[in-house]
Structures are given as structure tokens and as C-alpha cells.
Amino acid sequence: MRSHRRVIETARQAVELYGYDEIATPIFEFSQVFERTLGEASDIVTKEMYSFSDKGGDVITLRPENTAGVARCFISEGLAQQVPVRFFYAGPMFRHERPQKGRQRQFHQVGVELIGLAQPQADVEVIAAGVRVLDGLGVLDKTVLEINTLGDPESREAYRGVLVDYFSRHVDALSEDSRARLTRNPLRILDSKDEGDRRIVADAPLFADYLNAASVDFFERVKEGLTALGIGYQLNPRLVRGLDYYSHTAFEFTTTALGAQGTVLAGGRYDGLIKMMGGADTPGVGWAAGVERLAMLCGAAPAFRRPVALVPVGAAAETEAFKLAERLRGAGLRVDLAYSGNMSRRMKRANRVGAAASVLVGEDELARGVATVRNMDTGTQDEVALTSLEEYLAQYR
């Protein structure tokens, strides 16, 4: 949990600098929210979503991702009059996948959504925010930014037709999944992990050859913006998003340090999403990052905040120690106070909980208005007046 908290808090603080406010959407939504946006025939909907009927007969789904929930909130809360809006989120998502390192059925994501800006500078902004998150976690140098353009709807439609023609000539060699995608979602074939599909994809026409002038110009301005900010990237012409509401920029930060699950932060522009869900035609761009994967990439968990152990000696000291513990907590110290056991057992507990210092208070010390403070690392100890104990222990805060 310390590792998770480091990722979430670092991300929250980083994107706050760009004006992103936190949003929390329901963990479950009406299933139609995802069926409409992800496509009823997509792998997520057909194979991975946790969907069930509630007691009222409504079909609901544990959210497999959060962009659709944010878009639904944008529409239902009438936020179109406030654009642009910037949202940050953190929380659990659910997909029925085969668990493996870096992939769980309940996993956690942080993410941002920038809604209401159609300019390429918005794409650059969200990527820059992602860079700042990864840099804040100390893992930016372990990742590579890959980018591609999906063009505008006109370019996408032209490319879709070319892909269908190409893959139709190789239909017998395609995997079963890719044959099913051929008519409804041919771009998804480009992302297939099947080895036979990948050999066919290697010679498929490139999207770049079918972009219109407006799409080329948009992507050039994104690349210029990244270069101006000193953000390095690699072009990946096979990086796609299969859903029709995606357009223009697609990007992923990938790593080779986590085995098969190499994508740690991914996003893109989804100008058609809100209109598809019944809202006004509103552009959007964002990303999501896996908390578990980023935590693994960060390595060792952050050091925990070591407590100060209070060790009362004798019955008379028990009540005073209880009150003293509250005083020290009020001064910002983490305090561990055991409620039973002799001095030996309590000192063993102090070691077990990793205490930085122990404060011994007995009847004699109370009579003299002092406590004995022992440094648990060096073994040295001092007598400290109870009235100035908070100031002395500040070094252990």
C-alpha cells in the first residue's frame, strides 16, 4: 500500500500543477455505458467485463476503464458550459483476464481527461503531464514514449477500406479473432499478438500513407510541441486504437523491465466519444496508467514513517502514558503504545514495529517530571523533561 500510495500521490500532485481536479466516478455503471463506447463485439465487452443484474433488474458492470464514466458524468452533470475541464482520477478497475505479473482482475489506475480542447497543444499537455508523473516517480528513464496518429474520421475511413482489402487477401491465414475483427474493427488486427497475424501485419499498408492534409498538420504540431518541451519520442506506425471515436494522437509509455506487460501509461484523443454517448460534439484527450505496474517499476517500497514507542513502567504510568501519547500525536509524531506486557516485552515490540526511539516513563520519572528517551538505532539515551518532550522528539518526526 505504501508503494501504491506513492504512485497515486505523485500522480495527483504532478497533474495538479496543470490544473487537473480530482473526480470520482462510480465503481459500477449501467452496462450500456461500456457496451456503447467499447463496442458490443470488443474483447473487453465479450470476454472481460464483469456484468450482472442487480436486485432491480438493471444490468450493471464493474468498470473496466474510467474514460467512459468520466464522459458520462460530463454529460449528465451538464459540464459542457464549463469547458475546458481537466479531471484526474484514481481507483480500481476490473477485467476478467488471465492473471499474471502486472495484470490482475482487479487492478488500479490513475488517469487524466482533458475535455473541450480540439487543439494539438492539448495532446502535448497531457503527454507532458504523463512525463512529469513518470519523472516524479523516478522511472521516466526506464520508459520509451511511442506515438502515432490515427488521423481524422475521413482519413480513418479511407485507411479502413484499404486494410479490409489487404487483410481479405490473407483471410485464410488470419487467426479466428482477427477474422472476426475484419469486418467490424480491422484496425484491431494491427494490434494482434498472434504470431501468424503479426507476420501478415508486417506488410500491411501504413496509416501515414492515407492521412489527409489536416491530419498530417495536426500530427506535425503535436511532434513540434513535444520537441519544444524536450520530450523524446519514437514513431510507432502500428500503434492503434480500434474504437471509432479515437482520432489523431495515440501514445504509450512502454518499458522492457516488466516482461510481457510493457505498457505503463497510455492514452490518446477521443473526439467522438461524448457525441457517441449522446452529448454534444466535444473533443477530449487523456491517458491512464497502471498503478501496480508503476509500483513494480519503482522498485522497493518507500520507507515507512517510523514510530516513537511509549513504554510505561508500572501501573501508575499507564494512564499518564496514554495521555502523553495523545500529546505527542498532536505534535505530529507517530506513536506506538502497547497496552499490556512487562518492560521487556514492550521493548521487544518497539523493535518489532521499527521504532526510531522509545520513551520510558516510570513512577520515578513521573515524580521527577522526566522521561527516558532511548535512540533505538544507537542505544544511547537521555533524560528529557516532560514539558519539553515534543521539542526533543521532533528529530524523530
Contact 127, 300 (CB under 8 A): no
Asked if the model's pLDDT at residue 266 lies above 80, the reply is yes
Helix segments in 137-202, DSSP class H: 153-168, 176-184, 195-201
The rounded distance, in Å, linking the Cα atoms of 172 and 52 is: 36
- Dihedral-angle region of residue 320 (phi above 0 means left; psi in -120 to 50 means alpha; beta otherwise): alpha
The rounded distance, in Å, linking the Cα atoms of 266 and 254 is: 8
The CATH architecture to which 308-396 belongs is: 3-Layer(aba) Sandwich (3.40)
Q: How confident is the model at residue 99 (pLDDT cuts 50, 70, 90)?
A: confident
Asked if the model's pLDDT at residue 19 lies above 90, the reply is yes
pLDDT digits (tens, 9 = 90+) for 120-168: 999 999 999 999 999 999 999 999 999 999 999 899 889 989 989 999 9
pLDDT at 103: 76
Location of C-alpha cell 468498470? 63
Strand partners, 251: 147, 267
The domain segmentation of the chain, as residue ranges, is 2-152+212-298, 308-396
The rounded distance, in Å, linking the Cα atoms of 17 and 133 is: 11
pLDDT at 44: 63
pLDDT at 42: 57
pLDDT digits (tens, 9 = 90+) for 316-351: 888 899 999 999 999 999 999 988 888 899 999 999
pLDDT digits (tens, 9 = 90+) for 165-188: 999 999 889 998 888 888 777 888
Residue in 95, 218, 201, 104 with CA at minimum distance from that of residue 151: 218
Percentage of residues of the chain with pLDDT beyond 90 = 71
Asked if the model's pLDDT at residue 46 lies above 70, the reply is no
Query: pTM of this prediction?
Result: 0.88
Mean pLDDT for all residues in the chain = 91
pLDDT at 261: 67
Q: Do domains 2-152+212-298 and 308-396 have the same CATH topology?
A: no
pLDDT digits (tens, 9 = 90+) for 230-248: 999 999 988 887 676 889 9
CATH number of the domain located at residue range(s) 2-152+212-298 in this protein: 3.30.930.10
Asked if the model's pLDDT at residue 28 lies above 70, the reply is yes
pLDDT digits (tens, 9 = 90+) for 297-307: 999 888 889 99
Q: Of the given ranges (93-102, 300-309, 311-320, 381-390), which has the lowest mean pLDDT?
A: 93-102
Mean pLDDT: which of 44-58, 98-112, 331-345, 378-392 is highest?
Answer: 378-392
